[in-house]
Structure 1
Amino acid sequence: MNAPTADVILPCLNERGALPWVLSRMPDGYRAIVVDNGSTDGSAELAARLGATVVREERRGFGAAAHAGLLAATADFVAFCDCDGSLDPSRLPEVFAPVVEGTADLVLGAREPQRGSWPFHARMANLLLAWRLRRLTGERVTDLGPMRAARRVQLLSLHLEDRRSGYPLEMFLKASLHGWRIAEVPVPYAPRTGQSKVTGTVGGTLTAVRDMSAQLKAAAAASESVPVPKRGGLE
């Protein structure tokens, strides 16, 4: 497919070591929006020198950075991608394809782990979360992948509110509740550069569990009170 004009949102907190590789893998026609979330290692300055659009979000939290990038985006198509070197931006055209072709409204990159890329406890937690999501929503989801693609206007219409670790889950749950067509595309998942701020620390893991539990509780309540819309995409 011809690469669409797209904005790629890269939440960033002290990812100087990974930035050169990540930005060098950006496909032609894709604009990198690096959202610096309080880095102290010069990530923002390096990203700017490497040609990325840099947005600063002082409020800490993955969701805060991700949403700041969404608000800064102007392209019709928007993707989210981790900025730690674990995901290859060159695979984004494959993730975008169902959205561009009109067969899906939200596409998740389902991670295929390479050796050493996914701690056992994190992988088991992801499998459990995917099982709960299938039971709750009926979607055929296997991974709440951080690489994802959709149309910017539709994403804004979801009125996402979480500004911490629950942001990706809230996006998925609200998209399902609104009858979006959700698809998965497999993407390689490599060991990240540096230590994870979530699965690599006890505090990060606990925060993610709390945030996601709150989103699941809210979604369960909403699904009981709102009729499930017909599948078939967005108007």
Structure 2
Amino acid sequence: MTELNSSTPTRKPSAGSVDVVLPCLDEAAALPWVLERIPPGWRAIVVDNGSTDGSADLARSLGATVVTEARRGFGAACHAGLLAARADIVCFCDCDASLDPGLLVPFVDRVVAGESDLVLGRRRPQGRGTWPPHARAGNLALARMLRHRTGLRLHDLGPMRTARRTDLLALGLTDRRSGYPLQMVVRAADAGWRVREYDVPYLPRTGKSKVTGTWRGTWQTVRDMRAVLTEAPAPSAQLVPAAMPGEESR
């Protein structure tokens, strides 16, 4: 699997406008690290999902656009950010300092160049304890089920990803819990998207995971995602033709 500048990622912004959606629940300790790594010219959209530690005010003070999503759930926060996005390209990244958003630059390059329709980050743990065994086992099981369902030979269903905004909206995503990332991939596969996966370093997160930090959380995530895999294929989402260099998107 290809690795994209995992040690010293470039900060040079890519062609086209880019919004980065950062779902956030009590991530004040991690926000400064994350936001300072947003590439120049890109917009950070921090979706506050009920934080009580001042995350929203801190994000605003650091220059991010803040969206409030009262409905709890990872998918609810991600989709609220997608709806708030206005850029041609939308990226998603965790807001807990486990993933460097600067690594999204080559992801965007591949979408803008028309090489891929959806680019995913395959997490590569850096150091012992970064990715708990139960969380890794659940992710592996889901990846296998995804391969059986779609034929995509992916290894990770992680949160770092990039695609065109109009294409994502056309998928008609409905999951608002932990199944959101998987539903995005399943529906993209059903629509014939070119899905690619690249290695990214996965760092020890700041604070405690709200999703897979415990066996119970992992089981809930797996249950949500398995429900997605049993859904009937959605009506095919048509890709919006990308503009050629020098042309405006139609």
| TM-score (structure 2 length as normaliser) | 0.87
Q: Which residue of 2 aligns with 1:56?
A: 68
Using the TM superposition, give the Cα deviation of residue 134 of structure 1 relative to its aligned residue in structure 2, in angstroms: 1.3
Please state whether the residue corresponding to 1:102 is helix, strand or coil. Answer: coil
- 2:21 pairs, out of 9, 34, 37, with 9
Give the distance between the partners of 1:150 and 1:203, measured in 2 at CA.
Answer: 31
CA offsets per residue over residues 13-60 of structure 1, 9 Å max, x none? 000000000001111121100000000000000000000000000011
- 2:160 pairs, out of 123, 130, 147, with 147
Moved more, 203-212 or 77-86: 203-212
Distance 1:122-1:202 versus aligned 2 partners, 3 A rule: closer
- Asked if 2 retains the 8 angstrom alpha-carbon contact of 1:105 and 1:234, the reply is no
- Asked if 1 retains the 8 angstrom alpha-carbon contact of 2:87 and 2:165, the reply is yes
Using the TM superposition, give the Cα deviation of residue 216 of structure 1 relative to its aligned residue in structure 2, in angstroms: 0.8
Q: Which residue of 2 aligns with 1:24?
A: 36
Q: Which amino acid aligns with 1:63?
A: G
Give the distance between the partners of 1:89 and 1:64, measured in 2 at CA.
Answer: 21
Q: Percent identity?
A: 62
- 2:47 pairs, out of 18, 31, 35, with 35
Using the TM superposition, give the Cα deviation of residue 2 of structure 1 relative to its aligned residue in structure 2, in angstroms: 5.0
- 2:233 pairs, out of 218, 222, 233, with 222
Q: Which amino acid aligns with 1:98?
A: R
* Aligned residue-pair number: 228
- 1:108 pairs, out of 120, 134, 156, with 120
Give the distance between the partners of 2:213 and 2:136, measured in 1 at CA.
Answer: 13
CA offsets per residue over residues 153-178 of structure 1, 9 Å max, x none? 00000010001111000000000000
- Asked if 2 retains the 8 angstrom alpha-carbon contact of 1:84 and 1:194, the reply is yes
- 2:204 pairs, out of 191, 202, 207, with 191
Q: Which residue of 2 aligns with 1:81?
A: 93
Give the distance between the partners of 2:225 and 2:32, measured in 1 at CA.
Answer: 31
Give the distance between the partners of 1:213 and 1:135, measured in 2 at CA.
Answer: 12
Using the TM superposition, give the Cα deviation of residue 202 of structure 1 relative to its aligned residue in structure 2, in angstroms: 4.0
Give the distance between the partners of 1:68 and 1:34, measured in 2 at CA.
Answer: 10
Using the TM superposition, give the Cα deviation of residue 209 of structure 1 relative to its aligned residue in structure 2, in angstroms: 1.9
Using the TM superposition, give the Cα deviation of residue 122 of structure 1 relative to its aligned residue in structure 2, in angstroms: 1.0
Please state whether the residue corresponding to 1:222 is helix, strand or coil. Answer: coil
Please state whether the residue corresponding to 1:111 is helix, strand or coil. Answer: strand
Structure 1's consecutive aligned runs of 4 or more residues displaced over 6 angstroms after TM superposition are: none
Give the distance between the partners of 1:217 and 1:135, measured in 2 at CA.
Answer: 12
Q: Does 1:204 align with 2:199?
A: no
Q: Which amino acid aligns with 1:120?
A: P
Please state whether the residue corresponding to 1:78 is helix, strand or coil. Answer: strand
Distance 1:154-1:195 versus aligned 2 partners, 3 A rule: same
Q: Which amino acid aligns with 1:149?
A: T
Give the distance between the partners of 1:117 and 1:95, measured in 2 at CA.
Answer: 23
- Asked if 2 retains the 8 angstrom alpha-carbon contact of 1:107 and 1:185, the reply is yes
Give the distance between the partners of 1:222 and 1:31, measured in 2 at CA.
Answer: 33
Show structure 2 runs of 5+ residues with no match: 1-11, 242-250
Give the distance between the partners of 2:87 and 2:176, measured in 1 at CA.
Answer: 22
Using the TM superposition, give the Cα deviation of residue 97 of structure 1 relative to its aligned residue in structure 2, in angstroms: 2.0
| TM-score (structure 1 length as normaliser) | 0.92
